[in-house]
Chain A
Amino acid sequence: MTGHGKTALKIVLVLAAIGAGIWVGSTVSPPPEVEEVEAPERRVPRPELPEDYREPVTEHPPPRSMTLEYLDVGLLLAALAAASLLALKWRSRAGIFVLMVGCLVYFGFVRKGCVCPIGAIQHASEGLAGGFVVPITVLAFLLLPLVFALFVGRVFCSSVCPLGAVQELALVRPLKVPRWLEEGLGLFAYIYLGLAVLLASTGALYIICQYDPFVSIFRLSGNFQILVLGGLVLLVSMFVGRPYCRFLCPLSVLLRGGSKVAVTSASITPDECVQCRLCEDACPYNAIRAPAEPTHDRRTGKVSLGLLLLALPAIVALGAWLGGLSSESLAGTHHTVRQARAVRAEESLATAGMSDEVEAFRLTRRPVRELYDREAELLGQFRRRAVLFGGWVGLVIGMKLVLLSMRRTRTDYEAEPGQCVACGRCFRHCPREHLRLARRRGDVEPEEQTE
């Protein structure tokens, strides 16, 4: 693709992203009418209290003001801009580090990790499915990192994302994950993205938020399971660079895609690669690719590529079929389906007692038929969307195999744009960078620049 072609593609992608955002934010169906729900303090019978008892007033904290919401968006925008400058123009690892700590403090500890662009994927999914109107600030949190990725790569990951920051800080002794293993593990991020979209669009679950291993750190609290999960991820992060970002983060899937066609992105060398190989092991995230020339028989490669391309529709179909097969299990994540199943089990099984779900339903005094009808409706939704989800997983697997069968020619050491999180760790490993810095300090004569 020519330079003009790439630029045109990026403009189209940016416009598409903005258009999608506006559509999600403004043209989705209006929110369903919410039944008037009795205040929580009145859902249970009022106990008999003495006449002189003074009932405390229930306090409802006001929602966060829109000004502060917009301020958050402004800060995100500013942080992304600063990250871009630090990674691409000023090439300052120290600056990136400081910005990263600052963003961790604000977006992590002050804002308690919410709303974050990763979780916003779910809001957008549910909004697109007609669940509710997505607030513009939430959309901005999702779209801004994507737009920046299209222009300057994954600068959001480098220093703005609090989840990445925690992992970056925890990395004490990085161990190299073999590339081949990384390719396999990397699939799970795509699957997680598909699953998160499926579950959010059906109104079942915000799985990304529910199983966010870092939220317990930001909020300094959490239930036992989430604390253990957070502890484990933190432990792994001490030896494996950014495991969540590389193998699970759904947003990274989108950012990777954007970064691959980005206008520009962070590079190891400030100007040219001298093939010194000093940066070979500099990246703890396996983002640096060595020069390579295709040496094998081109005919064999073409045949295997052709076969994989032919098999691609079959892989997608298999995925779709498996998705449909697992739809009923997936539907179990929806509270209404679970409640219907609990009521059915309670009506069908010789069990004494009543689960909370069944009791809650019985208290509504709604007919069981209504619950079962809603369950059937949801099962239909899950069936259709699980087929799409399965197809997506099949497509990802198939495309991954196809891409791994394609040979690429590379003449220099390069940071693979999709993988590179623009953390700047590799800068100091490049002698050209030292030269640049020396030149800037005036330690090197101008004529030495050409060496």
Chain B
Amino acid sequence: MSKQDAPGQHVRRLGHTAYQAAVRLAVVAGVFCLIVVAVLVGNALRAQSLNIYDQTRPLDREERDLLEYASRLADQQARYLDPAQTGRRLTAEEQEFLRRAQELARARRLAMLKMTLQMDEADEAVLEEVRAYDAELRARYQTSLRLTETGRWLLMVGGAAFLVSLLTIGAYRAVQMPPTERPPGSEVQQQTARFARWSVAGAAVAVISVAFLAGLFRPPTGLYAALGPDDQPPEIAEEPTPQPPVGDPAENWPGFRGPSGLGVAYWTDMPRSWDGESGENIRWKTAIPLPGNNSPVVWEDRVFLSGATETEREIYCFDADTGELLWRRRVENVPRSPTELPEIMDMTGYAAPTMATDGARAYAIFANGDLAAVDFEGNVVWQRNLGLPDNRYGHASSLITHGQKLIVQYDQGNVPEDGLARIIAFDGATGDIVWEQTDRPVRDSWSSPSIIEVDETPQLITTAAPWVIAYDPTSGAELWRANCLRNVDAAPSPTYVGGLLFVCNEGMPLIGIRPTGTGDVTESHVVWEAGEHMPDTASPIGTDGMVFTVSGVWLNCYGIEEEDMLWEHGFDQLFYASPIRVGDHIYVIDSRGTARIFRPSKEGYQETASPELGEGVSASPAFVRGRIYVRGEKHLYCIEKPTE
């Protein structure tokens, strides 16, 4: 259409009706497309807010303050700008402000509805209101979708018209020029080839640079390679080869309440008199750097403790003979350790759980969920964080070992339905999870697991409201469970005597369970019940047809055959530490540091001695090879009879 056109024809064509129509169409279609795009973008932005889940998500404090302020302001403004009162029409700006204020008020209302729902699920009126709002949002969203659907078709039609008009304009404006003089093809080819080689070389350099950069900044693959430049990886022992433990767990004090966590000492020849003030029978006394309520753990010539504050967490190793602090290991740079502090009760502290040892390594857990394994020289073998515990009073459950496995009872949540409670067994040498039980319909607890032998089969016993659950410590398989912990605060650990497992909680009776069943044994194996004032912290201890509990200032004796309380004896101080059976005596230390050493008897309280430590005590003592290790508020004591 063009090669034969004379230059004058080109000018005439620009005045052609079709050409002018194409120009007008291009303008109209272009403006139309712009309007449609603007509407679609606005609609897309509005659609983002039509999500009830976003609108009912938990608000942080800043958002709550903002909403509160905006709502108050909106109320004031609404009254001030009410046309019925002022007699004038609202400006567009004022209307927009009011609309926004209404949205904010609604958001606050939704947040309140959500809170109400969380507290009372059965409130049908609240549910109806939420459903109504959900339906409204859905309707608005559907409208938005229809608008989008219509808009994109309009945009396509408009875009097509715009393109067609542009192509038409282009065709009319096309000016075909006669060929100009050009250098010979060979020269052009030569020059083009030269430049093209440089162009290819440039592209190659770009590709090489990208590949090199990709190689240079390749993602980390090592276990701790994801740490930032300022984060130092924890000092991991280079060769954490498992060392065969020297010593028998039964002859040591490997965890809370001794071997298996049952509060029974292997060694029976223990001192019964001492005086912390005068130093009588005190072999040594060493200051503990950081506070903690955990009890001493003893393996051969080592005594382990942990201490922590809000910001520091440490493990200590003392020489059992001299009390010398052999090493202290700061637990830091733990992978995934939260920066947020756990909410704890002051009495619980940041190092309440007692450590555990398997003879090769010592393990410690802290209130923020940091779990560390160290060898006996203080080298970190592994460490990890179990997640910030959601625990009302702060995590306090002590660790326990079974063979080379470390078992952690990590119960959390306000209600069992939270599904946060779990019990985990780690490979002590590597920190790998050996098994994990999350089917624990319990809430947060402070009790420590213990292991009992039933028909020569070990059972790992855990107590947390409302269930007592027994697991196979080797595989983690659940053996049985009993729904019998009626109060929500589960802190004491069980005691096992006379074929009965005794569990208790503050504000409920002492319960006896026959640990021989499978599945839910609530109806079939919960066979014993007596008393009503159970301890809130200290664990019971059983012996010779009796179970003793220390609750508040009271020492209670229950007869197993009698299924009743036989006697009670009052003291002037509270008990936090758990009583320990040592041979034919029971030792229990009150919160001021006075030990009550008594011979168990159904007849009444028969005190043998009541030596004073001279320092408050919350932790349970350890009894190993004729020595008693007691953690006071600030010191670790070793009590021993003088050698004759």
Contact = CB atoms under 8 A, between A and B. Distances in A.
B571 interface: no
A397 B200 contact: yes
A65 interface: no
A313 to B, nearest CB: 16
Contacts of A184: 196, 199-200, 202-203
Given A179-B192, A180-B196, A326 B227 contact: no
A350 B215 contact: no
A93 to B, nearest CB: 12
Given A173-B170, A323-B211, A329-B215, A348 B223 contact: yes
- List the 10 shortest-distance A-B pairs measured between CB atoms, nearest first: A184-B199, A325-B215, A180-B195, A326-B214, A183-B196, A292-B185, A329-B214, A322-B211, A277-B179, A328-B218
A429 B166 contact: no
A39 B190 CA distance: 64
Contact of B167 (A172, A182, A293): A172
Contacts of A323: 211
Nearest to B225: A348
A278 B156 contact: no
A221 B155 CA distance: 11
Nearest to B197: A404
B199 A344 contact: no
Q: Is the interface of A mostly helix, strand, loop or mixed?
A: helix
A326 B334 contact: no
Given A172-B166, A290-B185, A278 B179 contact: yes
A400 B204 CA distance: 11
Interface string A287-325: 000111111100000000000000000000010001101
Contacts of B200: 183-184, 187, 397, 400-401, 404
Interface of A: 169-170, 172-173, 178-185, 187-188, 191, 220-221, 238, 276-278, 280, 290-296, 318, 322-323, 325-326, 328-330, 332, 341, 344-352, 367, 369, 379, 390, 393, 397, 400-401, 404-405, 407-408, 410, 428-429, 431
Nearest to A179: B192
A292 B189 contact: yes
B242 interface: no
B196 A290 contact: no
B197 A401 contact: yes
B227 A292 contact: no
A293 B153 contact: no
Contacts of A292: 184-186, 188-189
Interface stretch (B80-88, B337-345, B473-481): B337-345
Contact of B203 (A187, A322, A345, A346): A187
Given A185-B203, A220-B156, A348-B226, A405 B189 contact: no
Given A185-B203, A344-B226, A347-B336, A328 B170 contact: no
A332 B219 contact: yes
14 contacts: A169-B167, A183-B199, A221-B152, A290-B189, A292-B188, A293-B185, A322-B211, A326-B214, A329-B215, A344-B221, A348-B335, A352-B338, A390-B211, A401-B197
A220 B194 CA distance: 44
A394 to B, nearest CB: 9
Contact of B219 (A173, A181, A294, A328): A328
B69 interface: no
Given A323-B211, A410-B185, A405 B193 contact: yes
A99 to B, nearest CB: 17
Interface residues of B, number: 63
B218 A329 contact: yes
Nearest to A220: B152
B211 A291 contact: no
A328 B220 CA distance: 9
B224 A393 contact: no
B217 interface: yes
Nearest to B160: A169
Which of B153, B196, B197, B227 has the most C-beta atoms of chain A within 10 angstroms of its own C-beta?
B196
Nearest to A315: B204
A179 B196 contact: yes
A275 to B, nearest CB: 10
A344 B190 CA distance: 56
A6 to B, nearest CB: 24
A349 B193 contact: no
Interface string B167-210: 10010000000010010111111101111111111111001101
A173 B339 CA distance: 59
Contacts of A294: 186
Given A280-B179, A348-B223, A169 B186 contact: no
B582 interface: no
Given A293-B185, A295-B190, A329 B335 contact: no
Contacts of B211: 322-323, 325-326, 390
Contacts of B207: 187, 191, 393, 397
Nearest to A340: B221
Nearest to A411: B185
B231 interface: yes
A294 B186 CA distance: 6
Contact of B163 (A172, A276, A350, A404): A172
B221 A349 contact: no
Given A346-B336, A404-B200, A330 B170 contact: no
A408 B202 CA distance: 24
A352 B152 contact: no
A352 B335 CA distance: 10
A325 B212 contact: yes
Given A180-B195, A294-B186, A296-B190, 17 more contacts: A169-B167, A172-B163, A278-B179, A280-B182, A293-B184, A293-B185, A323-B211, A326-B211, A328-B218, A328-B221, A332-B219, A345-B220, A346-B336, A348-B336, A379-B221, A397-B200, A407-B189
